[in-house]
Structure 1
Amino acid sequence: MQAIQIPLLLAFPVLAVIGGLKDLTSYTIPNWISLTLIAAFFPAALVSGAPLAQIGLCLAVGLGALVIGMGMFAAGWIGGGDGKLLAVCALWLGWPAVMPFILYTGLAGGALTLTILTLRSGFFTPIVAGGPSWLRNLSKDGGDLPYGVAIAIGALAAFPEGALARGILG
């Protein structure tokens, strides 16, 4: 049974990392990442042995995170892809792991912000000038913050505490 459980469970961290990297390099998180995570959640939940109540609670947490993400998007604080990635990560992690996820995401977001501000300070301009285009875009003053990176880091940090991971790993 673990031959099926582990690959399904690994879909979450792999796709979260891909989402974070896509956001870092292009300021976009493709919809296929969120849609694939939603589609993979149900078989992963079933093979992990999660009770129906737990699956329902995960769905409620994911929906709540989607509403919050939509509000943050409407306020201009995050991009639409960031809001969707936040919601699908909350879906996979469930309750109570969503709380450390939010904490880890906030801490990673603070570190990301400080890193980007340092990059944009001008000190690294000679180094960045010869770098890839995505790095030059990150270093531009007034540019956006690829918050999908922080969401992916928060998701990876909270993953072992998540509802589905505890069912298989714990």
Structure 2
Amino acid sequence: MQAIQIPLLLIFPVLAIIGGLKDLISYTIPNWISLALIAAFVPAALVSGAPLAQIGLCLAVGFAALVLGMGMFAAGWIGGGDGKLFAVCALWMGWPGAFLFLVYTGLAGGVLTLAILTLRSGYLVPAVAGGPAWLRKLAAKDGDLPYGVAIAAGALWAFPHGALAVAALG
């Protein structure tokens, strides 16, 4: 059974990393990442050994995170891709892993914000000027914050405490 569990569970960190990197480089998180995570959740949940009640709780947590993400998007705090990535990561975390996911995402967001503010402070402008286009865009004073990076980092940090990982790995 572990020959199936582990590859299915590894889909989550791989796609979370890809989502964070895509947001860092292009300020977009493609829909296929969120859709693939939703599609992979069902078989991963079924082979993880999680009881149906726990899987249902994961679905409820994911839906609540989607509503929260939509609210943050409507308020202009995050992008649409960030909201979707947030929701699917919460889906995989379930409860109580979603609480750690929120805490870790907030901490990663603080570190990301400090790093971006340092990058945009002006001291690093000469070093960034010759860098790739995505880095120059990231260093632009009026640029957005690629919060998908923080969401991915928080998800990776919390993943071992998520419902599916706990059920599968004990």
TM-score range normalised by the length of the shorter chain: over 0.9
The code of the aligned residue for 1:136 comes to: R
Equivalent position SS for 1:95: helix
> TM-score, normalization: structure 2?
0.99
For structure 2, list consecutive stretches of 5 or more residues without a partner in the other structure.
Answer: none
The code of the aligned residue for 2:86 comes to: L
Equivalent position SS for 2:113: helix
For structure 1, list consecutive stretches of 5 or more residues without a partner in the other structure.
Answer: none
Match of 1:155 in 2: 155
- Written as runs of structure 1 = structure 2, the 5 A alignment for 1:7-86 is 7-86=7-86
Report percent identity of matched pairs: 80
- Written as runs of structure 1 = structure 2, the 5 A alignment for 1:128-143 is 128-143=128-143
Counterpart-to-counterpart distance in 1, 2:139 and 2:117: 8
Per-residue deviation, 1:168: 1.4
Match of 2:125 in 1: 125
> TM-score, normalization: structure 1?
0.99
Deviation per CA, 1:39-84, whole angstroms, max 9, x where unpaired? 0000000001111111110000000000000000000000000000
How many residues align structurally?
A: 170
> Where does structure 1 differ by over 4 angstroms across 4 or more consecutive aligned residues?
none
- Written as runs of structure 1 = structure 2, the 5 A alignment for 1:104-115 is 104-115=104-115
RMSD over aligned CA atoms reads 0.5
Equivalent position SS for 2:95: coil
Per-residue deviation, 1:142: 1.4
Counterpart-to-counterpart distance in 2, 1:57 and 1:7: 23
Q: Is this contact kept in 1: 2:50–2:168, CA < 8 A?
A: no
